[in-house]
């Protein structure tokens, strides 16, 4: 049976990547980083727990991708560029086929973003993946949650809701959602496409960087648009008006009835899109940032001085905002 050190060497250690900011990588008591002089280090951690964040028996390669993607999404939401990450991994047995798949998904995305694996910890236990990511950004340009201003336009990247649709279909949890009987059956191709959004999210790193100096506040949408927007509103001490029908539904969710579309755009979860605010005078600059980063951006509302979320449909009728996901609240 391979030892812990054999596993680390075989699946997670690679030749030095040539990034001068990585002074020392895997193999010593600590890694050493040399961030670009004058830059700010952005640090974030995210954990994926079997049975909570992914199904038991989930595809290892996709899991490797997703574990890093959700962390890179946090960097994106700050406007930071990826630098390096650590991996703390607890796994039930040294399953080499699983490790080969997991590390290939993980390291392929790391390479795509020039983000080096510089260390971690490996132990036996229930499957649990914890990544800490390090990024950097110039002083004064971080897209903080407390920086939204009344009058700002409110934007969303990409599309929303297809991950939630895939989750519902894969869990077959029609009973859990009163609205699910409304869903027409999904074709195999549509299910596959929606499942890609759930299992292989795309962190909006290039957009986050392109929005430096343009956007005021940003957050990544992991628990659902309404809930994550609420964090921005609370920290910025303001409110928002949102046109629920302007929210960009994913291509598969778009084929669904309007009520479902709205609900899962508002409070789906697992979207890993950016929600951000920018002054109206920079409307064209936001569109240009979207274009430059190859990312769709959609204006969905505005920030108000009065607190709370005011939700309307495309005709201006007021709607009730749905509750958001909370790990210790509803499940
Ligand atoms: P320590 O003596 O600090 O516990 P370990 O024996 O856990 O060190 O790890 C040896 C080296 O391998 C360290 O540099 C550590 O950062 C790295 N490492 C351990 N697990 C992983 C992993 N899953 N991915 C990447 N590097 C790892
Ligand atoms: Mg250790």
**Extents of the domains making up the chain:** 4-138, 145-319
> Would you place residue 14 in the very low, low, confident or very high pLDDT band (cuts 50, 70, 90)?
confident
Residue 174 has a pLDDT of 47
The pairing of strands 39-49 and 128-138 is antiparallel
Q: pLDDT tens, 210-263?
A: 999 999 999 999 999 999 999 999 999 999 999 999 999 999 999 998 888 999
> For the chain, what percent of residues have pLDDT higher than 70?
94
Residue closest by Cα to atom 14 of ligand 1: 27
Residue 175 has a pLDDT of 46
Residue 118 has a pLDDT of 97
The pairing of strands 239-243 and 128-138 is unpaired
Those residues whose C-beta lies under 8 Å from the C-beta of residue 123, and which sit 6 or more positions away, are 4, 89, 90
Q: pLDDT tens, 261-278?
A: 999 999 999 999 999 999
Residue 61 has a pLDDT of 98
Nearest-10 crossing angle of helices 225-236, 258-267:
50
> Would you place residue 161 in the very low, low, confident or very high pLDDT band (cuts 50, 70, 90)?
very high
* pTM of the full structure: 0.93
Ligand 1: nearest atom to the Cα of 26: 14
Query: Alpha helix (H) ranges present in the chain?
Result: 4-7, 60-78, 96-112, 162-171, 188-199, 205-210, 225-236, 258-267, 283-292
- CA–centroid distance, 30 to ligand 2, in Å, is 10
Residue 331 has a pLDDT of 35
Residue closest by Cα to atom 18 of ligand 1: 120
- CA–centroid distance, 230 to ligand 1, in Å, is 38
Assess whether pLDDT exceeds 50 at residue 100: yes
Assess whether pLDDT exceeds 70 at residue 2: yes
Residue closest by Cα to atom 11 of ligand 1: 27
Residue 248 has a pLDDT of 98
**Ligand 1 pocket mutation pick from 10, 89, 121 by most atoms within 8 angstroms of CB:** 121
CATH number of this structure's domain 4-138: 3.30.1330.10
**Ligand 1 pocket mutation pick from 26, 123, 133 by most atoms within 8 angstroms of CB:** 26
Ligand number with the minimum distance to the CA of 27: 1
Torsion angles phi and psi, residue 309, rounded to 5: -110, 120
- Please give all residues whose CB falls under 5 A of ion ligand 2, grouped by chain where several chains appear: 121
> In b/e form, how buried is each residue of 315-329, taking b as 16+ CB within 10 angstroms?
eeeeeebbebbeeee
Residues with CB under 6 A from ligand 1: 8, 12, 26-29, 87, 89, 117, 119-122
Residue closest by Cα to atom 20 of ligand 1: 121
Residue closest by Cα to atom 7 of ligand 1: 121
Ligand number with the minimum distance to the CA of 87: 1
Alpha carbon separation from 299 to 153, 273, 283, 311 (Å, rounded): 7, 13, 9, 14
Q: Which region among 1-15, 213-227, 253-267, 299-313 has the lowest average model confidence (pLDDT)?
A: 1-15
Residue closest by Cα to atom 9 of ligand 1: 121
Mean pLDDT score of the chain? 92
Average pLDDT over residues 92-120: 96
Q: Closest Cα to residue 52, out of 166, 117, 128?
A: 128
Write out the two tokens for 33: 């980083």
Residue showing tokens 């951006």: 297
Ligand 1: nearest atom to the Cα of 122: 20
Determine the number of helices (DSSP H) and then strands (DSSP E) in the chain: 9, 13
- CA–centroid distance, 218 to ligand 1, in Å, is 33
**Ligand 1 pocket mutation pick from 8, 24, 71, 84 by most atoms within 8 angstroms of CB:** 8
Assess whether pLDDT exceeds 70 at residue 325: no
* Number of other residues whose CB lies within 10 A of the CB of residue 14: 14
Ligand 1: nearest atom to the Cα of 11: 24
- Residue-level length of the chain: 331
**Ligand 1 pocket mutation pick from 47, 104, 120 by most atoms within 8 angstroms of CB:** 120
> Would you place residue 4 in the very low, low, confident or very high pLDDT band (cuts 50, 70, 90)?
confident
Write out the two tokens for 175: 């009973």
Residue closest by Cα to atom 22 of ligand 1: 120
The span from the CA of 215 to the CA of 210, in Å, is 9
Residue 259 has a pLDDT of 84
Torsion angles phi and psi, residue 137, rounded to 5: -155, 155
Residue 180 has a pLDDT of 60
Torsion angles phi and psi, residue 200, rounded to 5: -135, 65
Tell me the CATH class for 145-319.
Answer: alpha beta
- CA–centroid distance, 14 to ligand 1, in Å, is 13
Residue 15 has a pLDDT of 82
């Amino acid at each position: 049976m391979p030892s812990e050190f054999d596993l680390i060497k075989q699946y997670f250690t690679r030749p030095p990547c040539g990034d001068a900011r990585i002074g020392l990588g895997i193999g010593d008591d600590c890694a050493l980083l040399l961030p670009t002089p004058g830059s700010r280090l952005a640090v974030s951690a995210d954990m994926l727990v079997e049975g909570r964040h992914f199904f038991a028996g989930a595809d290892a390669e996709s899991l490797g991708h997703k574990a890093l993607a959700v962390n890179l999404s946090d960097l994106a939401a700050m406007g930071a560029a990826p630098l390096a990450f650590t991996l703390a991994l607890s796994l039930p047995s040294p399953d080499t086929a699983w490790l080969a798949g997991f590390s290939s998904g993980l390291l392929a995305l790391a390479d795509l973003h020039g983000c080096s694996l510089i260390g971690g910890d490996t132990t036996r236990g229930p499957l649990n993946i914890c990544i800490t990511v390090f990024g950097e950004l110039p002083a004064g340009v971080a897209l903080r949650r407390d920086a939204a201003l009344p009058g700002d336009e409110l934007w969303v990247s990409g599309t929303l809701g297809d991950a939630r649709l895939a989750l519902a279909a894969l869990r077959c949890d029609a009973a859990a959602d009163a609205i699910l009987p409304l869903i027409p059956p999904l074709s195999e191709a549509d299910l596959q496409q929606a499942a890609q959004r759930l299992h292989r999210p795309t962190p909006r790193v290039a957009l986050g960087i392109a929005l430096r100096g343009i956007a005021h506040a940003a957050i990544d949408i992991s628990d659902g648009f309404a809930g994550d927007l609420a964090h921005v509103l609370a920290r910025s001490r303001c409110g928002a008006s949102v046109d629920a029908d302007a929210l960009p539904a994913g291509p598969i969710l778009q084929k669904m009835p309007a009520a479902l579309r709205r609900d899962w755009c508002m409070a789906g979860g697992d979207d890993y899109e950016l929600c951000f605010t920018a002054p109206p005078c920079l409307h064209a600059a936001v569109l240009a940032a979207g274009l430059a980063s190859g990312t769709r951006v959609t204006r969905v509302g505005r920030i108000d001085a009065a607190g709370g979320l005011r939700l309307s449909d495309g005709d201006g009728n007021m709607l009730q905002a749905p509750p958001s996901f909370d790990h210790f609240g509803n499940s």
